[in-house]
Amino acid sequence: MSDITIIDHSDQVETILGAYRDAIGNDFRAYRGHVYRTITYAMHFLGGAEEHRAMVETALAYHDIGLWTARDLAYLEPSEELALADNKRFGFGLDPETLRAAIHWHHKVTDFQGKDAVVVNAVRKGDWVDASKGIVRHGLSKAQVARVEDAIDTYGFPAVLQRLAGDLGGNRVAGNLRVLRRVFKW
């Protein structure tokens, strides 16, 4: 694979995340970094196709946001609902079915089969790369993942997820099991 283009700013992402900054609180920088790293990976998997960028950026800005807005480890549906409501309210003009699918299936272990699968799978694979800290790379090199992580700080995002598992699930083990049951898809 060719080199990877770092995407560390988007007016759309900044607007969306800015609206939820208070809800995300002290985790804002960590989540923001996760969003941009995942956008970088997803757009790379799409070959930089600009026609998909608005969908990718919007879906990824919302994809985990329900962790903070709903305070629930079963956060896919709350994240989808916010994305769809804001898509309509602010006139993003994105296909609601694709937006919902990109969020709903972003933890799917196997390839998504359905409408706009190329976009949904790019989002899914990008999230897997970042959430696994490059253990799962979907064809990216270790050097590409390192380049992205060097360019966009994690601000402890993996630790944030573990803290939320404990805080919202009663303890880390129970919280992680809830995520596995409610968020991961086959």
Cβ-contact 18, 31 below 8 angstroms? no
User: Using one digit for the tens of pLDDT, what is the confidence trace for 54-92?
Assistant: 999 999 999 999 999 999 999 999 999 999 999 999 999
Residue 179 CA to residue 52 CA, distance in Å, equals 28
Averaged pLDDT score across all residues of the chain: 95
Residue 28 CA to residue 143 CA, distance in Å, equals 27
pTM for the predicted model, two decimal places: 0.95
Residue 16 CA to residue 45 CA, distance in Å, equals 23
Cα-flanking dihedrals φ and ψ of residue 185, to 5°?
A: -125, 150
Residue 164 CA to residue 75 CA, distance in Å, equals 12
Residue 122 sits at the vertex; the CA angle it makes with 182 and 135, to the nearest 5 degrees, is 70
What per-residue confidence (pLDDT) applies to 2?
A: 58
